């Protein structure tokens, strides 16, 4: 029997046994009851996957908000894109149905799901042990709760666990890769806690990653994967270039091939801007100089640029020092929209 089958059978057997109900205080079966997340955790623990111990060791807790991170660590895959959540098409027996803020269940197959739901009072705590209504822990028709994540454990028919290739950083990881990530986050204004870049992926660092992901329209799951790494690295490099361009040169020579130093700084203007200029917006080495020899490139209308607070005012017009595709230079703020 596969681990998936063991897990889903545990959920189904528990739902059919009225000595098991719903409770969020005694949620690990102390009195026979579970809540939605502890039930799914225990289903897979009974199948031989130590998700509960790992969750408490790494996070100090176990609930829906961290289940995706925890279960992916053990080889589960996010198959949400392969499923029609509205109809259930594409779901397989044993899939985990997750709403990361509120609820979790498992799919039984044949249009059914199983879950710990609510106690006999319609509340999360204060009920009697066991299932008083037959619906505290139940098997029901599938419905879109709504779910926002579907997790699937893939294995051989003999229950052999998949080979897991870990290509991301997560809470509990340590080392130089974590430190490099922390340095970039801190540089971009995301605090990793009082310890700073300490090479340990703790809760403060996870919160920084989640905030960065949310700010940049990435999946805010706290996992430092390829998409997050690519975005963070690009923004970090862009800021380094902008700051380098903003520093006055020690050389007494002048050249139109070097970006001039910005004269002023205002943190409040920092951010991403879009170009609003039908013919495109010219980027210049020196602010205010519109000669052809001072042209770096022309940024197409509608494209985005990044400013880190540096600018120079020329005749009442603020020229922002921005980066566009990793290239720094000055543009007139009159043609930018934040």
Res. 55: pLDDT tops 80 = yes
Instruction: Check whether residue 218 and residue 291 sit in a common domain.
Output: no
Q: Are residues 199 and 285 in the same domain?
A: no
Q: pLDDT by residue (tens digit) across 258-309?
A: 888 888 888 889 889 999 999 999 999 999 999 998 999 999 999 999 888 8
Q: Find the domain containing 116 and state its range.
A: 3-153
Is residue 328 one of the residues assigned to a domain?
yes
- Going by pLDDT thresholds of 50, 70 and 90, the confidence category of residue 171 is confident
CATH number at residue 80: 3.90.1720.10
Specify the pLDDT at position 39: 97
As a whole number of angstroms, the distance between CA 329 and CA 245 comes to: 8
Question: 129-154 pLDDT, tens per residue?
Answer: 999 999 999 999 999 999 999 999 98
Report the percentage of the chain scoring pLDDT > 70: 93
Residue 236 within a domain: no
Please check whether residue 161 lies inside any domain of the structure.
no
Q: Are 186 and 243 in contact (CB under 8 A)?
A: no
Top-confidence residue, 161 or 236: 236
Identify whether 61 is part of a domain: yes
Count: domains in the chain: 3
Same domain, 30 and 75: yes
Q: Which of 153, 187, 206 is the last residue of a domain?
A: 153
Residues 145, 26, single domain; the answer is: yes
Task: Over range 315-331, report the average pLDDT.
Answer: 91
Asked if the model's pLDDT at residue 119 lies above 60, the reply is yes
What are the pLDDT digits (tens) for 58-94?
888 999 999 999 999 999 999 999 999 999 999 999 9
Are 14 and 144 contained in the same domain? yes
- The residue to which tokens 């009442």 are assigned: 316
Of 101, 119, 153, which closes a domain? 153
Report yes or no: 145 and 97 within 8 Å, Cβ to Cβ. Answer: yes
Q: Is the pLDDT of residue 116 over 50?
A: yes
| pLDDT surpasses 90 at 160 | no
Largest CA distance in the chain: 85
From 153, 188, 211, the end of a domain falls on 153
Residue predicted with more confidence, 57 or 272: 272
Handedness of CA 187, 192, 197, 203 (dihedral sign): negative
Q: Are residues 291 and 211 in the same domain?
A: no
What's the rounded Cα separation, in Å, for the pair 145 and 102?
9
Count the helix, strand and coil residues of the chain and give each as a percent rounded to the nearest 5: 30, 25, 45
Same domain, 140 and 186: no
Residue 112 lies in a domain: yes
The terminus-to-terminus CA distance of the chain in angstroms comes to: 57
Q: Which residues of 171-193 are buried (b: 16+ CB within 10 A; e: fewer)?
A: bbbeeeebbbbbebbbebebebb
d(CA 112, CA 8): 12
- Nearest 5 degrees, angle CA 45-CA 60-CA 232? 105
Query: Which pLDDT belongs to residue 166?
Result: 61
Q: Are 8 and 16 in contact (CB under 8 A)?
A: no
Answer yes or no: do 8 and 149 share one domain: yes
Predicted model pTM: 0.51
pLDDT at 174: 87
Claim to verify: residue 213 and residue 322 sit in the same structural domain = no
Give 253-314 as a DSSP string.
---TTSPPPP-EE-GGG-EEEEE--TT-EEEESSTT--SGGGEEEEEPTT-EEEEEEEEEEE
User: Tell me: the pLDDT tens digits for 199-217?
Assistant: 999 989 999 999 999 999 9
* Residue range 27-37, pLDDT digits in tens: 999 999 999 99
What's the mean pLDDT in 308-327?
91
């Amino acid at each position: 029997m596969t681990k998936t089958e063991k897990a889903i059978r545990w959920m189904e057997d528990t739902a059919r046994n009225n000595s098991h109900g719903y409770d969020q205080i005694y949620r690990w079966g102390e009195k026979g009851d579970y809540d939605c997340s502890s039930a799914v955790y225990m289903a897979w623990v009974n199948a031989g996957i130590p998700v509960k111990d790992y969750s408490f060791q790494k996070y100090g807790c176990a609930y829906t908000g961290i289940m995706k991170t925890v279960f992916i660590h053990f080889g589960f895959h996010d198959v949400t894109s392969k499923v029609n959540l509205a109809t259930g098409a594409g779901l397989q027996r044993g899939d985990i149905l997750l709403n990361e803020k509120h609820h979790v269940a498992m799919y039984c197959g044949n249009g059914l799901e199983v879950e710990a739901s609510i106690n006999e009072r319609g509340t999360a705590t204060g009920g009697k042990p066991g299932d008083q209504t037959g619906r505290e822990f139940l098997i029901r028709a599938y419905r879109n709760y709504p779910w926002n994540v579907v997790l699937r454990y893939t294995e051989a028919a003999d229950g052999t666990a998949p080979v897991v290739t870990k290509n991301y950083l997560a809470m509990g990881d340590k080392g130089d890769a974590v430190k490099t990530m922390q340095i970039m986050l801190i540089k971009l204004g995301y605090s990793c806690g009082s310890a700073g870049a300490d090479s340990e992926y703790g809760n403060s660092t996870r919160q920084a990653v989640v905030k960065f992901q949310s700010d940049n329209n990435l999946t805010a799951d706290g996992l430092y994967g390829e998409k997050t790494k690519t975005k963070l690295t690009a923004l970090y490099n862009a800021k380094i270039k902008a700051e380098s361009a903003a520093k006055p040169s020690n050389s007494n020579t002048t050249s139109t091939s070097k970006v001039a130093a910005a004269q002023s700084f205002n943190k409040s203007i920092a951010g991403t801007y879009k170009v609003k200029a039908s013919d495109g917006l010219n980027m210049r080495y020196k602010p205010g100089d519109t000669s052809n020899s001072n042209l770096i490139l022309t940024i197409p209308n509608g494209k985005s640029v990044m400013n880190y607070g540096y600018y120079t005012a020329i005749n009442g017009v603020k020229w922002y020092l921005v980066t566009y595709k990793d290239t720094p230079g000055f543009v007139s703020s009159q043609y930018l929209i934040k």
